[in-house]
Amino acid sequence: MAEARRAVFVCCDGLGRNWVRPEITPVLDDLRQRSLWCDAHSAVFPSVTRVSAASVATGCLPARHGLHGNRMGLIEQGRIIVRDVGDPDFRTHMRRATGATLLVPSLAERVAQAGGFIGFSNVSPGAAYFLDPEHFGRIYHRAGSFAPEGTRIEGADALAVSHDAAGDWAMTQRFCREVLADRRPAVAFLWLADPDHTMHGVPLGSPVHHDALAAAGRCVAEVFRTVERLRGEGEEILLLVGSDHGQETIGESVSIEDWLAARGLESLLEAGDVAVAGQGTAALFYATDRGRAPLLGVLDEMSHAEWAGDVLGSERLAEQGFAARGGVVAAVNMARRADVNAHGVAGWRWVAAEAGKTAAIGSGQHGGWGPDETRPFLMVNDGGRSTGTVQHPSCITDIAPTIARFLGLPGDGFDGKCLTP
């Protein structure tokens, strides 16, 4: 009897499409020759990992899945409180404030009775848990691993790996051995910390960045080798390898809260009637009914500030695939200059300062819609049947519907579309 079909997605976090080149990432370039390559592939807004994880998992844009950013405002007792989505307990706050986590089903839910889902992730806990926030499948992360219904996985079965390239490699080896070869779920995700984790602390194009690209390539090669071996044993496996966003360089940072306070909004900020949720190279603005008019009143002046690129109100946010609800009234994409760094990489950005965090000038960052941060890569490998290039625009929301079609699952309820013929 033929084995059930399976799908595998590997995310090389933060690996922008222009870094996939034979001289830099030979493993990825080799796989690209044997795969369908998406040549106009895009991120979602904000181009941050937690929102991207939710978009990959659901096949929907943020407007529909409801997760706003890496940091997100929640209306708690009439005040807007900005919380870090990366924290393991964020979902508890989100459920309390909004009654739910994601507003649409994840792949894990779609395959819960059809082969199951296992995700291994080495990024932030929040980004890992938003792959399957209501625990329909199994999710493995160094901050805690969970079985269906949220049962905590303890002992040797939990994922105890370091948050770096060595941890990615250890996680990959276990993923190949245990998940791909042994447990064989219908959908398996492997989400690497690198190169994103390294790029946040070093100049783009530096030797350390190149090492991180090579480390991610080594993990992809191990997965591809395993998938090919299983295919040789007669299994039908769809392998997607890609990323969630790229990065650009941190030029300077600005406290948008201080800028707003200097324009008379200090008491509204203190009262939780206006709030800023920084997303690196972008920021979301929240307001209550009381804070809305004063906030909207300074947006025109903001659009002329040297640190601000585009300032978007609710209508233009909708065009970006983002719904202005849950208190969001506007967003800013931080200004960009075309300056080239010491390693020949263009793109100098203002970033939104976060209290208690220092922006590492000269290192990588993302979150907005700068050209390099919004161009992730994606290739779809079905054993060599589909090769060539998808020229039309694709998005990270296309991953879930492509997997759903391959597995023969219903294709409704996605914003994305299937990429294979």
Interacting residues with Zn ion (CB under 5 A): 13-14, 49, 196, 244
Nearest distance in Å: CB 322, Zn ion? 17
**In the complex, minimum distance from the CB of residue 215 to Zn ion, in angstroms, rounded to a whole number:** 16
Nearer to Zn ion, 14 or 291 (CB): 14
Q: Residue 150 CB, nearest distance to Zn ion (Å)?
A: 25
Q: Cβ(354)–Cβ(278) under 8 Å?
A: yes
The pair of three-digit structure tokens given for residue 220, joined into one six-digit string: 């992809």
**To the nearest whole angstrom, how small is the minimum distance from the Cβ of residue 364 to Zn ion?**
11
Beta carbon of residue 225, minimum distance to Zn ion (angstroms, whole number)? 25
Q: How far apart are CA 188 and CA 169, in angstroms?
A: 17
Question: Which lies closer to Zn ion via its Cβ, residue 49 or residue 386?
Answer: 49
Max Cα-Cα span within the chain: 71
Which residues are CB-neighbours of 83 under 8 A, at least 6 positions away? 71, 72, 73, 74, 90, 93
Shortest Cβ 366–Zn ion spacing (Å)? 7
- What H or E segment, with its residue span, contains residue 310? strand 308-312
d(CA 161, CA 164): 8
- Residues in a beta bridge with 332: 283, 311
Q: Is-contact 252 362, C-beta < 8 A?
A: no
What would the two tokens of residue 68 be? 């706003």
Nearer to Zn ion by C-beta: 10 or 112? Answer: 10
Between 244 and 372, CB nearer to Zn ion: 244
Of residues 49 and 397, the one with the C-beta less far from Zn ion: 49
Question: Is the Cβ of residue 50 or residue 64 nearer to Zn ion in the bound state?
Answer: 50
Tell me how far apart the alpha carbons of residues 217 and 195 are, in angstroms, rounded to a whole number.
10
> 3-class SS at 43?
coil
Rg (CA), the chain: 21
